[in-house]
Amino acid sequence: MRFLKKTYVFLIFAFLYAPILVLIVFSFNESKSRANWEGFTLKWYYELFKDRHIMSALYYTLLIAVLSSAIATLIGIIASIGIFHMKKVPQGVVLNLNYIPILNPDIVTGISLMVLFIFMKMNLGFVTMLLAHITFNIPYVILSILPKLKQMNKHLYEAALDLGATPAEAFRKVILPEIMPGVITGFLLAFTLSLDDFVISFFTTGSGVTNLSIVIFGMARRGISPKINALSTLMFVSVLILLIIVNIRMSKDNPERRARIERSKENSRYLPDIGHDI
C-alpha cells in the first residue's frame, strides 16, 4: 500500500514536471529545433540578453506587474477599510461587483475592457494594459484584506484615537500592522496574476507593447525560440531560490509568527492557490 501511494505521488509529479523539465533541458540544446538534441550549449542564455524584442517584453511584463500590483494594493487597502465599514446592503452590492472580475471568464473581461477602451477612443497600449491589470488585481487584494479586518478587535482603532493618536497615526500604527499579512498575500497574488496573465493583456494592448505571454503566443506558430526557454529557466530558478530562502527563514522564525502566517493562509484558501504560500 505504501509503495502504491509513493508510486502514485511520483507519477502525478512526473506529469506536472515533465514539461518543465523538457523546457529546461532544451534551453541548453545546440539545435534551434525542439525535435532533436545536438549537444550542450549556453549560447541561448547569452543571446537572450541581446534580443531587443524579448528584453522589451520582459521589461513591460515586470513593469506592469510591479505597477499594477502596487496600485491595486494601495486602492485595495483604502477600499477594504471603506467596504468594511459600510452598511450591510451597499456592502453586499459592492462585494458582488468585486466578484465579477474573479468569476468572469478572462476572455470576457479582456474583451469587455477592450470594447470600453475603443469606445472611449483610447489608444490600446501600455496605459490600457496597466488599467486592465489593476482592474483584475484589486478584487484579489480586497478579498485577502477583508478577513484580516474582520478578525481585528473593533475597539483597537478607537482606543488609539482616545489615547491621542490622529486618525492617520492610528491607521499606520494600529490598523496597518494588523492587516499586514492580508496586504502581503494580496500583493503577491496580484503580482503573480499580472506576471502570468495572457488573455486579458492580449486583448487590451497594442502599438508594440507586449508582455512575455503575448510574445510566446506569437511565437508558438513558428516555433518558440530556445531563448525563451532560457529566460523561463532563469525565472523558474529565481522563484525556486526565493521560495527556499523564504522557507528557511520562516522555519527559523518564532512559532507565534508561523501560526499567524498559517492563519492568514487559512483565510485565503479559496483564492486561487498561487502566491500565498510565501
Partner 1 sequence: MKRQWLASPYIVWMVIFIVVPMLLILFYSITEQTEDGLQLTAEHFRRFIDPIYINVLIRSLALALACTAICLLLGYPMAAILASREYSRKKIMYMLIVLPMWMNFLLRTYAWLTLLERNGVINTVLSILGLPSLDILYTNEAVVLGMVYNFLPFMILPIYSVLSKIDRSVIEAAQDLGGNNITVFRRVVFPLSLPGVISGITMVFMPAVTTFVISRLLGGGQFTLIGNLIEQQFLSSGDWGFGSALSVIMMLMILISMGIMNKYEQENGGGALW
Least distance to partner 1 from the beta carbon of 198, Å?
6
Name the β-bridge partners of 40: 29
Report helix, strand or coil for 29: strand
Q: Which is nearer to partner 1, 15 or 40 (by Cβ)? A: 15
Residues 276, 189: contact at Cβ < 8 Å? Answer: yes
Q: Which is nearer to partner 1, 70 or 199 (by Cβ)? A: 199
- Per-state percent for the chain, helix, strand, coil, to nearest 5: 75, 0, 25
Q: How many CA atoms lie within 13 A of 271 on its CB side?
A: 29
Q: Which is nearer to partner 1, 42 or 86 (by Cβ)? A: 86
Residues 204, 155: contact at Cβ < 8 Å? Answer: no
Q: Which is nearer to partner 1, 163 or 250 (by Cβ)? A: 250
Least distance to partner 1 from the beta carbon of 49, Å?
18
Reading the block at residue 64, the C-alpha cell is 506592469
Q: Which is nearer to partner 1, 27 or 181 (by Cβ)? A: 27
Least distance to partner 1 from the beta carbon of 196, Å?
6
Residues 66, 130: contact at Cβ < 8 Å? Answer: no
Q: Which is nearer to partner 1, 42 or 241 (by Cβ)? A: 241
Least distance to partner 1 from the beta carbon of 154, Å?
12
Name the β-bridge partners of 29: 40
Least distance to partner 1 from the beta carbon of 261, Å?
12
Reading the block at residue 254, the C-alpha cell is 518564532
Least distance to partner 1 from the beta carbon of 174, Å?
14
Which residue type is seen at 66?
V
**Can you list the alpha helix ranges (DSSP code H) found in 85-166?**
88-103, 106-119, 126-151, 155-162
